[in-house]
Amino acid sequence: MFVAGCGGGGSAAPQPARDGSVEGLDGSSEAMTSGMDAGPGANDGASADGAVIAPQQVGPHIVVDQFGYRTSAEKIAVIRNPKTGFDSDASFGLGGKYALVDSASGQTVLEGTATFWGGDAGAVDPSSGDQSGRFDFSTVTTPGSYYVLEEMSSVRSSAFKIADSVYQDALVQAARVFYYQRDAAKPAAYAGAGWADTAEHPQNAQCKLYTAVDAGAATRDLHGGWFDAGDQSKYTIFMANNAIELLRAYSETPSAFTDGTNVPESGNGVPDVLDEVKWALDWLSLMQNPDGSVLSIVNNAGASPPSADSAPCTYGPASTSATMAASAAFAYASRVLGASGAATTAYPGYAAGLATRATNAWSWASANPAVTFDNTAAGLGGREEEVDANGQLYQALQAAVFLFEMNGGAAYQAFFDANYTQLPTTLDPFAMGPLDTALEYTRSAGATPAVATAIISSFQSRLAAFPNFAAQHANADPYLAPLQTYPWGSNGAKAGQGNMFFDVDEYAPADAGTPSIGSLYAERYIHYLHGVNPLGLVYLSNMGAHGATNSVSRIFSLWFTPSSQWAAAGASAYGPPPGFLSAGPNPTYSWDVCCPTGCGSPENDALCGAAPLAPPAGQPIQKSYRDFNSSWPLDSWLVSESNDGYEVQYIRLLSKFVH
């Protein structure tokens, strides 16, 4: 995530227009939701397959998963009548007759009425500001292209597919985000001509400790790795944990990942997601000192494009938390890559080398349990990665589990058994790591039976009292993806919640009450991220060429700046690459604290505008979003920045439904 000081630039504050655009001070417009994507569903009188049908209006009132639905899955379109928020004047009657229409033939496949949310057409959901209903067409399982039509008004949804392959391309694009996040040259053959770049941050091959930047100071080669978010710094803890999540995704559903996503390693016989993890591990290996400790951060100033950044590279010293995080990633990757015949053939000796790195890191961190480094206080990076004592214990427990699985060491098992009860007891969809670590141990060969039983029992009891689980049972959220709170990065929390619910079928079937209800609930969060939300917006960037009618056009990034050719899909030359998951609705959004008159100069103060942008400010929670990427002091990163941590949760969730 990006954190700015009160010295940066910004763009003039756009203001909402009644047509759903926002007008800049120069008279230009930017879409609040892109509406420019070249996906199916445009009001052109043609279906997604090219068959001519009667022209109908694709409106914002019938929202669906714009990629589609698996044949056996629940399929629900949400009908919405806005009552509060920026779109409250766009009324729509809920009581009509709805039809599922085959978009190739124009034939009606199913007709029915909507079931009102709250049992009453007049009930308004405060989290979205909408009255709503649901049109259920789950009984339709025939593959094809469809849309939902309100027959009297001839208003219809975006076109979508019913097929068991509907998520495959979205998964590929989301996974390719990590290629775009690589700190490396990106040839057009892999990146596409619009996002190609020459060598990025070659100065990272001569990086200096942040306290020793004079001309004669020693340098380290710390090239590679992933940019963490919209900034271009690289953080050991975050990168290690994100690599672990990609390994989890692969381990849980290996069939979802192929060797053909067009990255440089494609075709080597190894699933590309494992090649991507290796890219991160290679950087973590460069960060490791001979004594086993691991450096904490590499700081890059950032530029658009990244190759334009010529500022010197600096790094932060080793810390206990960074070293434990790296130990966990090394150990887990050693086990997963070591079990892959393709990986051991492509990378001989690599898994064994990771095992050595993992144990060396554990030994150093265990001998140095309280070495901390506050990177933001040192002026490095855009957000703080250092953790408190509880966070350090979590990193150690995570490493202990993976080391125990790697070599069965009794000391790692004893450490986990003695300390696992100190893991957080709350179920937090935005911080899935502690739960994942605990459940991972229950799957470990040789795990202490009493400890494994206690972990599963605790999960079951916490789940039974979990508000989001109860809300799913009650269909309390009109858009079927409830969160009790919407934090900064709510889309990451939505994906995390889906991953948590998927665990229900395995670990808490008695609490589920219905077979496969956990996977049913999990998939609803995918539908939310794919357009079943009050904005009818696919929260992935630039997906028009991949099946979305209305996807995010702007991502906050030091690369995809408002003045660059990557500013906005459909409005600049290229827009951001496909597949970046934006942070999502954030009811705490506001302009920078320096606004309206304390930003350092009259020119800076003028960037604030008259009031915080609405939306995202001053809206019902689920409408607290705007498709914009303005920098300081409008601080769009609070809603529109992507983050590798959000991305891995989405990839992990989506991959569970790709076969």
Q: pLDDT by residue (tens digit) across 549-573? A: 999 999 999 999 999 999 999 999 9
Does 287 have pLDDT greater than 50?
yes
CA angle, corner 325, sides to 430 and 241, nearest 5?
40
| 269 lies in the same domain as 382 | yes
Residue 347 maps to a domain: yes
Average pLDDT score over residue span 651-657: 98
Token pair, residue 596, equals 């309206």
| 308 lies in the same domain as 344 | yes
pLDDT digits over 119-140, tens only? Answer: 988 999 999 999 999 999 999 9
Residue 182 maps to a domain: yes
| 176 lies in the same domain as 258 | yes
- pTM for the whole thing? 0.92
Token pair, residue 298, equals 């590499």
**CATH code: domain of residue 245:** 1.50.10.10
Tell me the Ramachandran region of residue 106: left when phi exceeds 0, alpha when psi lies from -120 to 50, beta otherwise: left
Q: Among candidates 532, 462, 454, which has minimal Cα distance to 500?
A: 462
Residue 81 maps to a domain: yes
Residue 439 maps to a domain: no
190 phi and psi, to 5 degrees?
A: -110, -40
- Count structural domains, the chain: 2
Q: Among 366, 386, 406, where does a domain finish?
A: 386
Token pair, residue 372, equals 């901390």
Q: Among candidates 152, 135, 140, 153, which has minimal Cα distance to 103?
A: 140
- Residue 12 CA, distance from chain mean position: 28
Q: Where are the beta strands (DSSP E) in 264-353?
A: 295-299, 314-318
pLDDT digits over 163-202, tens only? Answer: 999 999 999 999 999 999 999 999 999 999 999 999 999 9
- Tokens 């434990």 identify what position? 324
| 297 lies in the same domain as 332 | yes
Residue 436 maps to a domain: no
pLDDT digits over 391-450, tens only? Answer: 999 999 999 999 999 999 999 999 999 999 999 888 999 999 999 999 999 999 999 999
Token pair, residue 228, equals 């963490």
DSSP per residue, 485-510: ---TTHHHHHHHHHHHHHTHHHH-HH
Does 31 have pLDDT greater than 80?
no
Residue 357 maps to a domain: yes
| 158 lies in the same domain as 172 | no
Token pair, residue 178, equals 């990590």
Give the 3-state secondary structure of residue 316: strand
Confidence of residue 511 (pLDDT cuts 50, 70, 90): low
Q: Would you say 174 and 650 are in contact if contact means Cβ atoms under 8 Å apart? A: yes
| 182 lies in the same domain as 140 | no
| 103 lies in the same domain as 173 | no
Residue 37, pLDDT score: 37
Does 12 have pLDDT greater than 90?
no
Confidence of residue 10 (pLDDT cuts 50, 70, 90): very low
| 317 lies in the same domain as 364 | yes
- Tokens 């350090």 identify what position? 392
Residue 515, pLDDT score: 72
Does 55 have pLDDT greater than 60?
no
| Boundaries of domain holding 136 | 57-162
281 burial via Cβ count (<10 Å: 0-12, 13-18, 19+): buried
pLDDT digits over 538-551, tens only? Answer: 999 999 999 999 99
Residue 512, pLDDT score: 65
DSSP per residue, 11-43: -PPPEE-TTSEEE-TTS-EEESS-----STT-S
Helix or strand (DSSP H, E) at 280: helix 272-287
**CATH code: domain of residue 87:** 2.60.40.10
239 phi and psi, to 5 degrees?
A: -65, -40
| 172 lies in the same domain as 118 | no
Residue 509, pLDDT score: 79
| 371 lies in the same domain as 267 | yes
Q: Would you say 155 and 61 are in contact if contact means Cβ atoms under 8 Å apart? A: yes
| 236 lies in the same domain as 262 | yes
Give the 3-state secondary structure of residue 154: coil
| 81 lies in the same domain as 101 | yes
Residue 96 maps to a domain: yes
